[in-house]
Amino acid sequence: MKIDTANVKRGTILNVDGKLMKVLDISHTHTGRGSATYTFKSKNIVDWGNLNLTYKSWTTLEQADVATQNAVFLYAAGDSYTFMLNDTSEMYELDGDDISDVLPYLKENLDCFLMIYNENVIWVILPTTIEYTIAETVPGVKGDRASAGRKPATLDNGLEIQVPLHLEAWATVRVNTLTWETA
């Protein structure tokens, strides 16, 4: 779908030379008698590289038709990870190498979102928080400290994070997927 530079907003996904670029920030510059220019700070949503794109006003760009759909992670079989769309029950098997950034945080029956472009899943979007069970942790020792104490803990999926001192094994903890700290 075609889009004019003046209509590009934050979050718009552009198809630039076959690369999908998500616009993070927009800068508009107009000099005296010259034409205006738009600079888009963008991130490649496939390999996460940053790029600044500069265009003159009235330039027509290609907006990518990316769909974000509700899904659930079902199971892992070897290096293959199976997701199902909630609306259509359509199944997608993804290679572990393609979603390596989210692998440590997946657990069965996890609700998530799939970004789909040209009938291919290009990314898995995790919920803001996920609940896990603490598999093991060391005993918390109270003492003099300026801030709340934390201790290492291993979650039921093998992920290691820092948790508050009062939490023990088999407790449920909510983890923020943006910061990977307890929420």
Q: Are residues 72 and 53 in the same domain?
A: no
> According to the model, what pLDDT value does residue 84 have?
96
Last residue of one domain, picked from the residues 40, 62, 84? 62
Same domain, 55 and 92: no
pLDDT of residue 147: 66
Domain extent, residue 40, equals: 2-62
Phi, psi (deg, nearest 5) at residue 47: -110, 5
> CA–CA separation, 59 vs 49, rounded Å?
23
Residues 28 and 73 in one domain: no
Q: Which two tokens stand for residue 50?
A: 């940053």
- Helices (H) and strands (E) counted in the chain, each on its own, are 0, 15
pLDDT the model gives residue 104: 86
Q: What is the CATH number of the domain that holds 170?
A: 2.40.50.140
Answer yes or no: is 183 within a domain: no
Q: Residue 12 falls within a domain, yes or no?
A: yes
Give how many domains the chain has, as a whole number: 3
Domain boundary residue among 24, 39, 62? 62
**Measured between alpha carbons, how far is residue 135 from residues 73, 161, 169 in Å?**
21, 11, 6
Phi-psi map region of 158: left, alpha, beta (phi>0 left; psi -120 to 50 alpha):
left
Is 107 a domain residue?
yes
110 in the same domain as 139: no
Does residue 182 form part of some domain?
A: no
- Of 62, 78, 108, the position where a domain reaches its end is 62
Do 93 and 49 share a domain, yes or no?
no
In a domain, 181, yes or no: no
pLDDT value for 33: 79
Residues 48 and 79 in one domain: no
Residues 9 and 44 in one domain: yes
pTM equals 0.75
- 24 bridge partner residues: none
Judge whether 34 lies within some domain: yes
Question: What's the confidence (pLDDT) of residue 40?
Answer: 95
Across the chain, which has 183 residues, the per-10-residue mean pLDDT values are 91 89 91 86 85 91 93 94 95 90 89 91 90 90 69 89 89 87 78
